[in-house]
């Protein structure tokens, strides 16, 4: 568990670098087809991260996943799992759930990258009779991707990385701009990453070749080692909001929007404008001052404190709060 000096809104990790960068930290992606991997050689050869296929659709699990995933960790290489989407088989939420239950879960162990949603041309057209977009319209594909990413965030507290090509994204989602908050793993083989899909102004990972010099595909992370470490294990996040419901009632809400539990969150407040605090459930108060503490706030949970004062009839009144590093002023109306 982690304690947190809360920010007003601690945003998702932002990664430095530009889309023009032709190099970066080297990494690999592997699957069952890669076979046994010499992870020691990958590490000694400069490999800084790895992605391992875990699942496909709603029934397939890579039989080598456990060995590949644990092998990368044992060699000191941060690794993440990826899911090869089959959007025509089941809805996005169901495939995200299958992914999480079969290797795609995220844990704050300092070694695990967020899971990846792999979206690319349908390789089974001769078998399933679908086109490269699996028979879905752009609108339906956007809904499918949204269902997957929403479920993954609900289950893990992390935003799934999206692997795709610019061509597939433009054709099959209508070049949707709705997923720019998800890190982009761009597949574009060649000497430069080329144009990016709509919604992203930079890539986070770039797959530049199907086969690399280390193992599996050749990839680069568009950032520094410290930024990669932050993507692996980001800081705790919280959103703090407040409202003056009247001249005498005020509310402060703290929501855990990150992947880690928060502990010992302290709230201190003071009424101003010649009023006193007369009611504050769950908190200690005296005169104009109030103090509250949240022992633990798990991922996705929120807590709301409500304060009642005895304001004077006229003049400016309100309350000022400090929550970690946040200063919040609520003016009564």
Return the active site residues: 29, 118, 120
CA distance 228 to 255: 26
CA distance 179 to 310: 47
CA distance 274 to 156: 46
Backbone angles phi, psi at 198, to 5 degrees: -65, 140
Q: How far is CA 198 from CA 173, 191, 206, in A?
A: 10, 21, 16
Q: How far is CA 58 from CA 83, 86, 122, 175, in A?
A: 10, 8, 15, 26
CA distance 180 to 128: 31
Do the beta carbons of residue 196 and residue 202 sit within 8 Å?
A: yes
Cα angle 29-139-206, degrees, rounded to a multiple of 5: 20
Q: How far is CA 185 from CA 3, 161, 208, 249, in A?
A: 31, 7, 11, 47
Task: End-to-end CA distance of the chain: give it in Å, rounded.
Answer: 39
CA distance 95 to 148: 7
- Strands, E, within 257-288: which ranges? 262-272, 277-279, 284-286
Identify the DSSP state of 256. E
3 state DSSP class of 305: strand
- Residue 137 neighbours by CB under 8 Å, 6+ apart: none
Do the beta carbons of residue 164 and residue 176 sit within 8 Å?
A: no
Which run of H or E residues covers position 27? strand 25-30
């Amino acid at each position: 568990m982690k304690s947190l000096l809360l920010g007003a809104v601690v945003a998702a990790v932002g990664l430095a670098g530009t889309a023009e960068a032709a190099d970066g930290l080297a990494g690999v992606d592997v699957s069952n087809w890669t076979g046994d991997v010499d992870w020691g050689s990958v590490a000694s050869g400069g490999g800084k991260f790895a992605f391992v296929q875990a699942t496909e659709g709603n029934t397939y699990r890579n039989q080598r996943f456990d060995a590949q995933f644990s092998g990368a960790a044992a060699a000191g290489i941060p690794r993440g799992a990826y899911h090869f989407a089959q959007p025509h088989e089941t809805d996005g939420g169901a495939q995200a759930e299958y992914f999480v239950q079969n290797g795609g879960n995220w844990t704050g162990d300092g070694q695990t990258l967020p899971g990846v949603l792999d979206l690319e041309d349908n390789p089974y057209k001769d078998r399933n009779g679908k086109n490269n977009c699996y028979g879905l319209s752009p609108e339906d594909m956007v809904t499918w991707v949204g269902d997957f990413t929403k479920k993954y965030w609900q289950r893990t507290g992390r935003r799934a990385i999206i692997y795709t090509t610019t061509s597939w994204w433009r054709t099959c989602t209508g070049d949707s701009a709705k997923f720019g908050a998800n890190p982009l793993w761009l597949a574009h083989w060649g000497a430069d990453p080329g144009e990016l899909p709509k919604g992203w102004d930079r890539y986070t990972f770039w797959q530049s070749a199907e086969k690399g010099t280390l193992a599996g595909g050749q990839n680069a992370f568009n950032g520094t080692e410290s930024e990669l470490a932050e993507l692996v294990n980001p800081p705790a996040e919280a959103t703090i909001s407040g409202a003056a419901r009247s001249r005498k009632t005020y509310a402060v809400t703290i929501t855990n929007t990150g992947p880690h539990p928060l502990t010992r969150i302290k709230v201190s407040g003071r009424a101003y404008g010649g009023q006193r605090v007369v009611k504050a459930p769950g908190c200690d108060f005296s005169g104009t001052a109030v103090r509250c503490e949240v022992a633990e706030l798990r991922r996705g949970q929120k807590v709301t404190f409500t304060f009642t004062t005895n304001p004077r009839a006229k003049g400016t009144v309100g309350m000022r709060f400090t929550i970690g590093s946040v200063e919040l002023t609520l003016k009564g109306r």
